[in-house]
Amino acid sequence: MPTRPSTKRPSTSASTKSGKRAESAARRAPFIAPDFDPDAAATGDGLFGLSTSVDEANLVVIPVPYDATTSYRPGTARGPAAVLEASKQVDLEDLQYGPVWRAGFAMLPIPKEIAALSKKTRTAAEPVIEAGGAEPGNRAHARALAAVNAASERLNAHVAAEARAILDRGAIPALLGGDHSTPFGLIRELAERHPGLGVLQIDAHADLREAFEGFTYSHASIYHNVMTRIPKVGKLVQVGIRDFGSRERAFAEGSRGRIEVFYDQAMRDRQFAGGPRNAWSAISSDIVKSLPKEVYISFDIDGLTPDHCPHTGTPVPGGLTFPEVCHLLEVLSRSGKKVVGFDLCEVAPGAPGDEWDANVGARVLYKLLGCTLRTQGLLR
């Protein structure tokens, strides 16, 4: 059987042990073995079966196997391992972005201590989740909330530290969750370095709740936390939203344009009305135009139609199709805007042998890599 040989660079790689690496030094194609065949079956241990090392990668993915506050159905903590495995089956040539693999990306090892923290924290959270939220005056619930919130702070600190290390050596950070609470620390670090940062959130849910079920850092509160605790985020653009509460809607409407929502039904109604100004290409342009110059993409897999993510924690009917998302990302990639980081969250694998959710997740990840790396000048 043909194989995907190692792309590992000999020890002369440009990585340094100390200090900042100049951005230009990091942003170059990694070493690829001359006999590397991108069409061969994957043999490398890394993402998409490649063996690019974290030290030489231009983009580094932080895997976060954490889903302590998932309310409906846990399982996204197994997302990183499942997507990593499924990625080895994805063909490396991409119609929209060409040879994405050449641009140089890698994923950090999946941290066992974070998986353990997730398990322990989920056990603590369970009585509160089962009760439908913390009951006032319930001391056991209060203790559980304190434990969960402390674990979330620890997780945020872990993600922020990983993001800082990647940014300090001039590489681009990305994150593979985990539930949607996991990228908070990454967004905070990026906003620090890119004031006015815009976030493009693709999601079924608004995630604008103020502390869901009593958990400060719930997956359902991520963008309330981002917008209230990270003032350097200039704008949030939400796409595909079809599940939200009245307070979430009011929070977005009261944001004076800092939050712009492209509701799923509103986009569909435009398409149903017909005409070139309501075509998906026009809607995609409107979405991209609403973003500032520097962009972070936050991709919740449940933004897609549920047939693309049947095991995700909180599926909702409606949503974007895969080609629609691919088109939107390509419009962004050619807009002159710069994607400075991204996350992919809420991918939950099915029963052993059912690779569908992870297969879709891996393909979305490859498109996110292509889009990001093109806007960074690393792909044509």
Q: Spell out the residues 6+ positions from residue 228 whose beta carbon is closer than 8 angstroms to its own.
A: none
CB 152 within 8 A of CB 215: yes
CA atoms within 13 A on the CB side of 317: 0
Nearer to Mn ion, 194 or 205 (CB): 205
Q: Helix count (H) and strand count (E) of the chain?
A: 11, 12
Burial of 363 (0-12, 13-18, 19+ CB in 10 A): buried
Collapsing DSSP to helix, strand or coil, 205 comes out as strand
Of 111, 112, 119, give the one whose Cα is nearest residue 151: 119
What's the min distance (Å) between Cβ of 260 and Mn ion?
Answer: 18
What's the min distance (Å) between Cβ of 325 and Mn ion?
Answer: 14
What's the min distance (Å) between Cβ of 347 and Mn ion?
Answer: 11
Give the amino acid at 45: D
What's the min distance (Å) between Cβ of 113 and Mn ion?
Answer: 26
Binding site for Mn ion (CB under 5 A): 203-205, 300, 302
What's the min distance (Å) between Cβ of 243 and Mn ion?
Answer: 8
Nearer to Mn ion, 100 or 287 (CB): 287
Q: Spell out the residues 6+ positions from residue 34 whose beta carbon is closer than 8 angstroms to its own.
A: none
Nearer to Mn ion, 56 or 302 (CB): 302
What's the min distance (Å) between Cβ of 206 and Mn ion?
Answer: 9
Nearer to Mn ion, 294 or 300 (CB): 300
Phi-psi region of 93 (alpha: psi -120 to 50; beta: other; left: phi over 0): beta
Nearer to Mn ion, 301 or 340 (CB): 301
Nearer to Mn ion, 204 or 304 (CB): 204
C-alpha span between 121 and 145 (Å, rounded): 10
Nearer to Mn ion, 213 or 302 (CB): 302
Residue carrying the six token digits 């409107």 = 286
What's the min distance (Å) between Cβ of 78 and Mn ion?
Answer: 17
